[in-house]
Amino acid sequence: MSEQTSEKGLFAKIEEKVQVTHIGGVAFILMLLLLVAVLGLNAMPKNMGGALFALVILGGVFFFVGNNTPILKSYLGGGSALAVVAGSAFTAMGLVPHSAVANIKTFISDNNFLEFYIVALICSAILKMDRDLLLKSAVRFLPVAFGAMIIAFIVTSLVGMGLGYDFKHAALYISFPMMAGGIGAGIVPLSASYAGALHQSAGDILNQLFPAVVIANLLAIIGSSLLVKFTTKSKMNGQGELLKATDGMEIKKTTLPEINNRQLMNGMMVALSFYMMGNVLYHFVPKINAFAFMILLVILAKGFNLVPKFYEESAAMFGNMITYATTPALLAGIGLALVDMNKLLQTVTWQLVLCSFVSVITIGIAGGFLGKLFGLYPVESAIAGGMINNSMGGTGNVAVLSASNRMGLIAFAQMGNRIGGAIILILGGLLITIL
């Protein structure tokens, strides 16, 4: 039995105790009307409370519509995709006041609620895994992710040349941005590197890199959702498990105790402690992302059985609670504050859309094929080792994994993003100088 199946009971208990994103009927409608009044009067408090109130309500609406509308639910990524797209459209049309959007951006990005969310998920995903399964998966995963990125780079650049771009533009302004690891840790430093070599404004270059990242991310959300939908009963689908059970390997079922306040608090502190240790190492070696250090530390701790079972269970319980309670709100915030629909529509071309489509399809197929060769389930490998590397980093990882119901793969997604993105930044700096 998979981890995903074994945790259904836990999620049911969380749903009973944490009524956040699925507030019932009349109460939700009253809160929605209150939000409309607050936004209409431009009276939303400029703090975490105001941002959370708006995001939980809007995220709930977007997820309800996306997950209950036939075409959206079945073919367009459901609530996860709608939250990002509709949130961005609301901002572009001025339906949410600028001051409210600024407050949400501060909460999500500047105050880094996004990082808090990802920290909780990484610790939960790694510490609740079977030790042998984790170690074997990690060793096989990285070659798959890097191989898929190389194949996608070559194919996308060649297709770009066929559509009228020269090789330099297709490689540096389309392929690399999509695989650079997101925005803050990806195309922002990449644009600075390009600007230094070309003696141009980093802001102007960033505007050229941004559309490829966003379009590829949206296509990856839809692609991962469709892949899971059409392979539900296939042997290629691991139902959330990455590594195939072979040679008598037994995948142990993870059973967590009943949710309780004490373990939730302990779990939060375990996750934040690993985050702090990652930042300490980042302080001494700033060229390596703090998340990369954190992932390595959690894997080592799990591999050497350094974390007592009680604290492993606590971290897993806390991560599950955060996932259930805040995913719709977070994705709505990403759309409202981080995806600029106006800028995207002004710069998008059909050639760019086609190149992005080719990249997502190629990296997904390559990830699945290489995953099969390395003993991984092709569907999970195509998502975590492939499509996830055509995303907006941490924000994109959450959206893609939410749409495909594969949140348990967040640690692998972050691993591929951070390490692969760092390699892309180095190569981008070298190639822009040479070419």
The residue whose two tokens read 């009044």 is: 37
CA nearest to 91, candidates 346, 342, 396: 342
**The pLDDT value given to residue 249:** 52
**The pLDDT value given to residue 367:** 93
From CA 430, how far away is CA 137, in angstroms rounded?
32
Contacts of 245 (CB under 8 A, 6+ apart): 251
**The pLDDT value given to residue 273:** 94
Enumerate the H helices of 334-409 as residue ranges: 341-347, 350-373, 378-384, 394-403
Least confident of 117-131, 181-195, 355-369: 181-195
**Which secondary-structure segment (H or E) carries 330?**
helix 309-333
From CA 257, how far away is CA 309, in angstroms rounded?
11
- Residues 121-166 pLDDT 10s: 888 878 887 777 777 877 888 899 999 999 999 999 999 999 988 8
Buried-exposed string 157-186: b where 16+ CB fall within 10 A, e elsewhere? bebbeebebeeebbbbbbbbbbbbbbbbbb
Answer for the pair 227, 364: CB distance below 8 angstroms, yes or no.
Answer: yes
Cα 170 to its chain centre, rounded Å, is: 25
CA nearest to 374, candidates 129, 131, 137: 137
| Other CB atoms within 10 Å distance of the CB of residue 364 | 28
pLDDT above 50: residue 272: yes
Cα 43 to its chain centre, rounded Å, is: 32
- Residues 333-362 pLDDT 10s: 888 887 778 777 777 888 999 999 999 999
Direct distance between the N- and C-terminal alpha carbons of the chain, in angstroms, rounded to an integer: 52
From CA 219, how far away is CA 225, in angstroms rounded?
10
